[in-house]
Structure formats: structure tokens, C-alpha cells
Amino acid sequence: MAWNPTFKKKLFEPEVNGDGTPFKLSRSKIDLFIECPRCFYLDRRLGVSRPQGFPFNLNSAVDHLLKKEFDAHRVAKSAHPLMTTYGVDAIPFAHRDMDVWRENFVGVQSLHEKTNLLIFGAVDDVWINPKGELIVVDYKATSKDSEVNLDAEWQDGYKRQMEVYQWLLRQNKFPVAETGYFVYANGKRDRAAFDAKLEFDIKLIPYTGNTDWIEKTLGLIKQCLMDDRIPSATETCEYCSYRNKAGKAIIETAGKLKEKVEQEPVKIAKAKTKKSKKDE
Ligand code: SF4
């Protein structure tokens, strides 16, 4: 289906969602707000979304297969070999809502009463340790020559993602371990040939989450949604400066064209039609 930049459903309406009907907000929209409140406002209040990227079908294939693998151990109540290799004392958590927690657009949900925002996010996996604490797990896939890690600035979004899941599970009264794990699959590029096969190195990367920022951010999000003024653009944003320059160029060109048309009205020659003998 083609990308539709405007949609008129489920937008925030101050008089409806202010303190009446809770407004559903995904963890990815929280991240959008952190990235740019203006883009967030355009999306959630005005119904103009960013263009969607291409679907990462290879990544979702890795996710799908990893889920299958961990699910087998969930049923058997056994540790996955990766847990043993990395010394993580845990097994995949079996819970009746596990499939719901993993379902896109549903996920783990919690109503944040102070803001009337219904926060939700779909987890990849949840494990449990012998203390009964839940461990949030996220699957990632990439392909690069160097070792995978979480050091790049753009990966802060991954960390926030895990922290929102930890927060959501805590809001649902589960004890949650501070350390979660990224199961990071790195497609090997040093093979002699493709041979219709992609091999991966799998690494388990621990991450200690800190959810302190979430409460404050939800307050700011609510404030932004209630306001009729559009937040200003992020100065450093390349897309906005592109958009502004493109808009300016279009307006200028249209202005020049209008002037030209007014000065020399375009004469549209009448098409000559040959009269056939029959018509006479
Ligand atoms: S500053 Fe960038 S991210 Fe923000 S609204 Fe403009 S294009 Fe979107």
C-alpha cells in the first residue's frame, strides 16, 4: 500500500482526550517526540506523518526465527544456549499474555493517569531470572564488519525502547530486572560466496536501563498535545531546512511565472479544423 501522509483517525483532540477518552500512544511516538516535538505534533495532532521507510524484511525474518527458537525453550522451560554461553541465569518467561505483549499495535499497555495517555509497546521477548524478575529482551539484526555494540548516538533510541518496555512491565506490577539484553545478530560479510545462505554471529549485549526520564517526558508530551501552537522546528534538522528551501523555491518560481503570465498572457491558438466536404 502506498504511503499516505495524511490520516484523520486517532489524532489527539484536546476536548476529547484531555481528560476524557485516554489517548493511545506507542513507544515509537514517544521517541518521535524526543527526536522532534514539531514532527510529533504534525503526526499526532495534525495527521501528517513522516514518510515510511522500506520494510526491513530480512530483519523481520531474523526476529521471527529468533522468536521461534526462544519459544521452543519457553515451552521446555529451559535456558537457550546463548544464555548459558553468556552466563545469564534465566529462562524465557511463559505467561498467558506473551503473544499479546508481542503483538504490534497492542503490546504491553499502561494508562498513565496523570496525562491520560495509554502507553503501549510490543516487546520481542521477556525472560525470567531465579529471583522472579522479568528481563526485557530485544532482538536486533544488522550486517557489518566490526563488532556490534550500542555505542552510536543513533542507538540511544534502542536504549529508550528497552526502558519504555521495562517501565510498562513495572506499571503492570511485575518486578523487572534493571538489566535487559539485546540479542544482536550480525550477518557475516566475509564468506567466499553467498550460496543462497546468510550466516550470523549472535551476541548478547546487556544494558542497564534507567526509566527516570519517562514520567517527565509524558508530562511534556501532554503539554505539547494540548497546545494549539505548533512547536518550532529543530534548528539542526536537515529535513526541515530542505523542506523550507524547497517550499521557498516553489513559491518564488510560481511568483515569477505568475508575473510572466500577467505580462505576456499566453495566447492559446485556436485549433484549425478542416472542414470536410461532408460538413458543408
Ligand atoms: S525539524 Fe525535522 S524532524 Fe522536526 S518537523 Fe522539521 S522535518 Fe520534522
Q: How far is the CA of 50 from the centre of ligand 1 (A)?
A: 9
96/169 Cα distance (integer angstroms): 14
Mutating to test ligand 1, I would choose from 31, 34, 237, 245 the residue with most ligand atoms within 8 A of its C-beta, which is: 237
Output the pLDDT for position 1: 43
Nearest to 45 by CA among 83, 72, 6, 19: 6
Output the pLDDT for position 269: 63
Instruction: Report which DSSP code applies to 5.
Output: S
pLDDT along the chain (280 residues), means of 10: 55 96 97 94 94 81 94 98 97 97 96 98 98 97 90 92 98 98 92 86 96 98 98 83 88 85 67 48
Output the pLDDT for position 233: 86
Q: Which three cell numbers stand for residue 226?
A: 494540548
Query: Left if phi > 0, otherwise alpha if psi is -120 to 50, otherwise beta: which for 120?
Result: beta
Q: Whose CA is nearest to atom 7 of ligand 1?
A: 240
271/277 Cα distance (integer angstroms): 19
Residue whose C-alpha cell is 521461534: 68
143/150 Cα distance (integer angstroms): 14
Output the pLDDT for position 130: 98
Which atom belonging to ligand 1 lies closest to the Cα atom of 234?
1
Q: How far is the CA of 244 from the centre of ligand 1 (A)?
A: 10
121/104 Cα distance (integer angstroms): 8
170/121 Cα distance (integer angstroms): 13
Q: Whose CA is nearest to atom 5 of ligand 1?
A: 39
Mutating to test ligand 1, I would choose from 33, 36, 43, 245 the residue with most ligand atoms within 8 A of its C-beta, which is: 36
